A and B are shown apart, each in its own frame.
Chain A
């Protein structure tokens, strides 16, 4: 083989490696714990008269018998010792948990201060806690790993930036934000494929997630007519309209039909 042939043969893998290096630099350039690029500086919050605020409370129910929770097989990782039942539909005595309730419409052009405190996602027992989370756009999310195994956190958004980072045991929490509104944004761990949770990113502080008793509460709403949305990861979205006068306290219950 002549010299030219050798040079040609060696060039191909080098080109490949060059491309690899180029691509990897792109990933390295993004700091692991850097929050997502924040949205443009928000306008000052629209003032709300605390003397007139109203509230909405209620219970979300499941019509029909709750399906039996699917069993999770965690045997592929000895460090996973969590409760091995899926959380797709969690209903106890007809009360539906993990429903995200928020004011979908009626707030107009009002703006709200973003809380300075972070919300926490904990990976424990190879599950996410909580399973459904509400957060405001730009609010800090602190993600920690309490398991003795490595997880990766991989949100798969539609309108926010996608990312995928691994987090070994005892690592410092990962800090993230989401810049745009998005409901039921799935988060998964590709190392433990049963691990799944949903983040709901909204612009107002008027949201809640139902607990095991199916109850929710939206406090501090200014008087007005609102569309309240109830979103469940499998059963979808339902809405109700409610009109609140000053200092009103209304009950809005909702039920989902088992599909």
Chain B
């Protein structure tokens, strides 16, 4: 598979070259590089490689870095989720102090689909914008504990405050709305605090909808990032005695060595797994024999969802957030055109 060298980012030993795309009008003489929807449509591919419960790997090909990055940024910062925001502590005699425990509780991902809730505007909590949980736990000594045991699990009842102890208190229409999937933590085993006999925790928690740019707890993803497709161009034949060494300079499965002839070649499928460690550029014997690069418009996305969204929905959510933003800008731009010049324009 040969790739147009214009699409490549150069990976040199000590620097990266050609990081920006140049397919805009006027860069190359006598070429019309103006944006063309049909061409874009033809080039654009989205291919999913792997989906699991929590993560997804997909390729996004044929867009500019700014678009791919916009999706990444939106997924981190602007796709809303529902998370606990207010903690009302009635009693907390554990060693973890109120502020710290509250912060920890805030970071618990909830299984609530944000689409089912409204953003809270102002301070007013309603059954449409706020979920109420209670967290009540007291640690006690176990009567039946073995005498010489030192394991807290054997000695005490409720020696750990876990996310599973969150209890949803339905209000108003919530009972019906959330009947299918009662709100709760995504992972029931997150340790929030350790308790010892006599320690009590009693608190009420309010969860609201928010976005990651306010606080990282609202971010729906653990990682949302991309890397560029690696590209390896072997320019000179590698001597057979160095074949194995050459192979080891790359991630496993990237370079194939013919068992008989010891000829090396790049595995077209495996090359995407290369970590581009640039190890091959370090060895003088391979100098000039290989050229490393990455495909500038081929983004290998990896997204781990840490929210109610299934991983495959995150990109779609990001796109819809982006469309809303574009619509907003469009409205504002149109408002600019419509209004007389001396009047103030309000956005939004």
Note whether A and B form a binding pair: no
